[in-house]
């Protein structure tokens, strides 16, 4: 029988990560993500795992990369300026295709900002925070149940696609308490191991799947890991043709799998004249407003991207020709993707940047204005 527990969002993330098989955590405590570190510090040693409090977020990101290279599922969590400090090594993990999960419980910024207040202003940083062309997966939960489920999914995607996955939360969801049903059986994915002897192993092979098999350090497979642009053996190269092939595979390797990666929720959307696009905690306000609007006869629906990056363009394009209202706790970030698809004239905005939640009433009032 499935177990039901009252949990906080950050606690559910930790429980989901443990269920997914995480055995290494490196981090630095920072509000409002600290509960994740606290739980990992207590739980990991009990199951043979390792918890390390690093000197800063730069070291934390480096540590989980190293642990993952040895075969351990690895996690770090942070917020605000801590997420900024992780960007260089996040790029290293992307370039070297090291699976790991980074939780960012968003708070008000920039700089120290509002440590205890919610925001959704790291959306574009999650996509482009590290330099250069690169792929990334970012998932955003809207409930405590989803915190648990998406933690598992984040590790599954990281392992399958050899990529860092960002769990992009916000302070409201991180500290919200709700009932969570813990399933008895979970679908767990582990990275693909080489099925050839060490002498034949090609660490960054450009194969049909576009996802090379990954040997663990210590298993007898020798290969080179570098943040420099590299050939299929991992050795640095400046050859334009090899560079082009490497970058094409790296930046396009998620494309064959987008149907499984891009998760969305659609509510009352088929006949909607206005589609509200919202994510994270604001999707909860939007959903309540939509229920009220429907009771007034207004044809409104919700499109909630669970996968923020890669942005679920294909799923939203089906609803071309409607009006769109994008509600988010920033000055306008994800709205740019919707404006790119449908044009500025079709898209309205609802933003709040004062550290307070966008309320259902605010969403409802804006719906009435737009319709």
Q: What is the pLDDT of residues 76-104, one digit of tens each?
A: 999 999 999 999 999 999 999 999 999 99
Q: Are residues 81 and 171 in the same domain?
A: yes
Q: How confident is the model at residue 345 (pLDDT cuts 50, 70, 90)?
A: very high
* Domain-embedded: residue 194: no
- Contact by Cβ (8 Å): 61, 125: no
Q: Are residues 161 and 275 in the same domain?
A: no
- Strands 50-53 and 22-27: what pairing? parallel
Query: What's the angle, vertex CA 108, arms to CA 142 and CA 122, rounded to 5?
Result: 60
Q: What percent of the chain has pLDDT over 70?
A: 100
Q: How much is the average pLDDT of 324-340?
A: 98
Q: How much is the average pLDDT of 45-67?
A: 97
Q: Are residues 44 and 137 in the same domain?
A: yes
Q: How much is the average pLDDT of 48-73?
A: 98
Q: Are residues 47 and 177 in the same domain?
A: yes
State both tokens at 361. 């009433």
Q: Are residues 178 and 78 in the same domain?
A: yes
Q: How confident is the model at residue 184 (pLDDT cuts 50, 70, 90)?
A: confident
Element holding 325 (H helix, E strand):
strand 323-328
* Domain-embedded: residue 212: no
Q: Are residues 175 and 315 in the same domain?
A: no
* Domain-embedded: residue 126: yes
- Strands 73-78 and 22-27: what pairing? parallel
d(CA 243, CA 245) in angstroms, rounded, equals 6
* Domain-embedded: residue 258: no
Last residue of a domain, one of 147, 182, 217: 182
Element holding 81 (H helix, E strand):
helix 81-85
pLDDT above 80 for 1: no
CA atoms within 13 Å, Cβ hemisphere of 2 = 8
* pLDDT for the residue numbered 110: 96
Q: Which residue has the tokens 């209202």?
A: 325
Q: Are residues 275 and 172 in the same domain?
A: no
* pLDDT for the residue numbered 111: 95
pLDDT 10s digits, 277-322: 999 999 999 999 999 999 999 999 999 999 999 999 999 999 999 9
Q: How much is the average pLDDT of 184-204?
A: 95
d(CA 61, CA 83) in angstroms, rounded, equals 10
Q: What are phi and psi of 271, to 5 degrees?
A: -105, 10
- The pLDDT mean for the chain works out to 97
Q: Are residues 157 and 35 in the same domain?
A: yes
Q: How much is the average pLDDT of 159-163?
A: 98
* Domain-embedded: residue 227: no
Structural domain span for residue 276? 264-370
d(CA 261, CA 305) in angstroms, rounded, equals 11
Q: How much is the average pLDDT of 157-182?
A: 98
Q: How much is the average pLDDT of 234-260?
A: 97
* Nearest of 16, 21, 73, 76 to residue 52 by alpha carbon: 76
- Contact by Cβ (8 Å): 24, 72: yes
pLDDT above 90 for 185: no
Q: Are residues 299 and 164 in the same domain?
A: no
d(CA 267, CA 256) in angstroms, rounded, equals 27
The total number of structural domains in the chain stands at 2
Residue 172, domain CATH: 3.40.50.970
Q: Are residues 289 and 157 in the same domain?
A: no
pLDDT above 70 for 60: yes
* pLDDT for the residue numbered 260: 97
Strands annotated E in 63-218: 73-78, 100-108, 114-118, 137-139, 164-170, 177-182
State both tokens at 51. 């918890």
d(CA 146, CA 140) in angstroms, rounded, equals 9
d(CA 224, CA 233) in angstroms, rounded, equals 7
Last residue of a domain, one of 123, 158, 182: 182
- Contact by Cβ (8 Å): 41, 53: yes
Residue 273, domain CATH: 3.40.50.920
Q: Are residues 171 and 315 in the same domain?
A: no
Q: Which residue has the tokens 């990991």?
A: 44
Q: Are residues 159 and 280 in the same domain?
A: no
* Domain-embedded: residue 94: yes
pLDDT above 90 for 3: no
Last residue of a domain, one of 134, 152, 182: 182
The end-to-end CA distance of the chain, in Å, is: 46
- Strands 114-118 and 137-139: what pairing? unpaired
d(CA 353, CA 131) in angstroms, rounded, equals 26
Q: What percent of the chain has pLDDT over 90?
A: 98
Q: What is the CA radius of gyration of the chain?
A: 21
* Domain-embedded: residue 210: no
* Domain-embedded: residue 323: yes
């Amino acid at each position: 029988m499935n177990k039901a527990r009252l949990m906080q969002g950050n606690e559910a993330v930790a429980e989901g990560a443990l269920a997914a098989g995480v055995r290494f955590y490196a981090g630095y405590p920072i509000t409002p993500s600290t509960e994740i570190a606290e739980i990992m510090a207590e739980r990991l040693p009990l199951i043979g795992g390792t918890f390390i409090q690093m000197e800063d977020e730069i070291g934390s990101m480096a540590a989980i990369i190293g642990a993952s290279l040895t075969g351990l599922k690895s996690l770090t969590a942070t917020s605000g300026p801590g997420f900024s400090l992780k960007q260089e090594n996040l790029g290293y993990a992307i370039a070297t295709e090291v699976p790991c999960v980074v939780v960012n419980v968003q708070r008000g910024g920039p700089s120290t900002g509002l440590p205890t207040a919610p925001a959704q202003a790291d959306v574009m940083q999650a996509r482009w925070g590290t330099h250069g062309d690169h792929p990334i997966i970012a998932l955003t939960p809207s409930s405590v149940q989803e915190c648990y489920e998406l933690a598992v999914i984040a590790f599954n995607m990281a392992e399958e696609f050899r990529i860092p996955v960002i769990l992009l939360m916000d302070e409201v969801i991180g500290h919200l308490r709700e009932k969570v049903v813990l399933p008895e059986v979970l679908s767990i994915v582990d990275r693909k191991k080489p099925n050839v002897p060490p002498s034949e192993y090609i660490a960054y092979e450009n194969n049909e799947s576009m996802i090379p098999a990954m040997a663990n350090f210590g298993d007898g497979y020798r290969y080179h890991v570098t943040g420099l642009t590299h050939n299929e053996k991992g050795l640095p190269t400046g050859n334009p043709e090899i560079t082009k092939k490497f970058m094409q595979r790296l930046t396009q390797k998620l494309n064959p799998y987008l149907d499984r990666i891009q998760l969305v929720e659609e509510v009352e959307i088929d006949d909607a004249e206005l589609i509200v696009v919202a994510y994270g905690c604001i999707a909860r306000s939007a959903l309540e407003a939509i229920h009220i609007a429907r009771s007034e006869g207004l044809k409104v629906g919700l499109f909630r991207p669970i996968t923020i990056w890669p942005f679920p363009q294909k799923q939203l394009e089906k609803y071309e020709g409607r009006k769109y209202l994008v509600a988010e706790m920033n000055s306008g970030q994800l709205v740019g993707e919707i404006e790119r698809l449908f044009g500025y004239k079709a898209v309205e905005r609802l933003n709040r940047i004062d550290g307070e939640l966008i309320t259902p009433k605010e969403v409802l009032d804006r719906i009435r204005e737009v319709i």
